Chains A and B, each alone.
Chain A
Amino acid sequence: MTFRVLDPTTEKAPPAGILAPRLDTLEGKTIGFISNGKEGTKGFFKHLDQMLRDEYGVAKVVSRSKSNYSAPADKHIVDEIKGWDAVVSGLGD
């Protein structure tokens, strides 16, 4: 018996969780951090900030924290992303 069955997905939506293309170099780039605001992020992002500047020649690090760690990033943070070369997010607990 042949079945003709239907696609259960939204079809139109871009797949979630796809990483952006890698940068060729971090030298001179602007990197944004989006912290979820949890306790453990403070030390992690402070260390990463220093490492990116000292070891990889990153020109500028912009740090932002979400107002609610369980909700999407605030609109004003998302609006800033287009001014960054890369963003580090989804980390820290």
Chain B
Amino acid sequence: MQLASKTYDANDISAVQELYHSSGWTDGLPIVPPTAEAVKACLDWAMMPPDQLIGIEPVRGLAITAEKLAINAVMAGCLPMHFPVVITAWMAMMQDEFLMHGATASTGGCAVLVVLNGPIRLELGASGTFNVLGNSDRATAVIGRAVRLCLINLMDVRPGVIDRSTLGHPGKFSYCLAEDEEDSSWLPLHEQRGVERAASAVTVLAAGAPRQLMNEWTTEPKEILETFAAEMRANLRHYSIHPGTYALIIPKQLREHLQVAGWTKTDIAEFIHERARIHRREWADVGKGAVVRDRGDSVYPAMESPDQLLIVAAGGPAGGFGAVIPPWLGHKSHAVTLPLGVCVDCEPPK
């Protein structure tokens, strides 16, 4: 296997770190040295030659090859078994509906949320329980980081260069989680979005930071969900009025109240769609009266339709918490779900 990338010699591990940091090739944290041996191991695992074309990124039309993704994946700390997930996430991000240009360059400062479903979670040890939106496990940490390093190095998505984020958020280091399918009676996210349950899948969403909420004082589904809807209304008021793909992270404690009462993900989405909406005049309550104009009575739902809601069963077993993950720019960038697999002769499914 012949790699095409330019090589550099560094005398020791410190010299490697300084080379990569000074070249602008990192996220500020130390990297794993991407040696030919480590990169080839990733490519072998994915059964791909180095020049395998993963896609043409839709901003500057650059060819994204397996070799370059593998180099960045190694740098992020990925083992070979993590690499197919990075490939699939990138294939999903390169779909038109994701709108990679805006999602990576916007002042809005979103990150790429990556949700893992199916058997791959168990193979990788991706945990969907404790600290799920933080440093929950090795697999999700390094996969999320790899997605970001690839953006930095393959598309110049560096702060102040292509990345024009005003604030950004901590998810830009790594923003990946697995659904806790084993401890949930709901359809997993990938099945809800049309992928066979037995398959593994990756869902990507251009997303803002999680908005954590708490309601430990009821077991009534509508009251629990009203707290989620209120958080979404807050986002509509304080951030963006545009409807789009929101994600709800529902940990076990609140999830069990909903499941015991027979609420499915579809039921939840329909309820949330009805409740998570505001009148434009509410913008005047939060200092945005200048843009209400004569449309104060217009109603703005958080989603265009219930099926835009991504509901993920995940989080530690105790605590009446949940999270709303808002879209970066809902009506222009959409979530994309792709099954995991090597497909060298076909287009990825839409």
Q: Chain A interface (Cβ within 8 Å of chain B)?
A: 1-13, 15-17, 39, 68-72, 93
Contacts and interface: CB of A to CB of B under 8 A. Distances in A.
B168 interface: no
Given A3-B35, A6-B34, A70 B13 contact: no
Nearest to A68: B332
A44 to B, nearest CB: 16
In order of increasing CB-CB distance, the 5 nearest A-B pairs are A70-B102, A16-B156, A7-B6, A8-B153, A6-B5
A69 B99 CA distance: 11
Given A7-B6, A8-B5, 7 more contacts: A6-B5, A6-B34, A7-B8, A8-B34, A8-B153, A11-B6, A68-B102
A10 B8 contact: no
Interface in B308-342: 329, 332-333
B33 A5 contact: yes
A6 B2 CA distance: 12
A72 B291 CA distance: 26
Contacts of A5: 7-10, 16, 19-20, 33-35
Contacts of B71: 6-8
B36 interface: yes
Contacts of A2: 9-12
B82 interface: no
| Most chain B beta-carbon contacts within 10 A, residue among A2, A4, A15 | A4
A85 B6 CA distance: 37
B331 to A, nearest CB: 10
Contacts, number: 98
A91 B28 CA distance: 28
A24 to B, nearest CB: 28
B35 A4 contact: yes
A10 B7 CA distance: 13
Interface of B: 3, 5-13, 15-16, 19-20, 25, 33-36, 39, 59-60, 62-63, 68, 71-72, 75, 99, 101-103, 106-107, 149, 153-156, 161-162, 291, 329, 332-333
A6 B39 CA distance: 9
A11 B11 CA distance: 23
A1 B162 CA distance: 36
A16 B161 CA distance: 7
Contacts of B8: 4-7
Give chain B's interface secondary structure class.
mixed
Nearest to A14: B60
Contact of A13 (B34, B39, B62, B149): B62
Nearest to B329: A70
A6 B99 contact: no
A34 B318 CA distance: 52
Contacts of A17: 156, 161-162
Given A70-B333, A71-B99, A8 B33 contact: no
B5 A4 contact: no
22 contacts: A2-B10, A2-B11, A3-B16, A4-B7, A5-B8, A6-B6, A6-B35, A6-B36, A7-B8, A8-B25, A8-B71, A9-B68, A10-B62, A10-B63, A16-B60, A16-B162, A17-B162, A39-B291, A68-B102, A70-B101, A71-B99, A72-B101
Contacts of A68: 102, 332
A7 B106 CA distance: 27
A88 to B, nearest CB: 16
Given A13-B62, A16-B161, A71-B102, A3 B33 contact: yes
A11 to B, nearest CB: 6
B59 to A, nearest CB: 6
Contacts of B10: 2-3, 5
A4 B75 CA distance: 13
Nearest to B12: A1
B99 A70 contact: yes
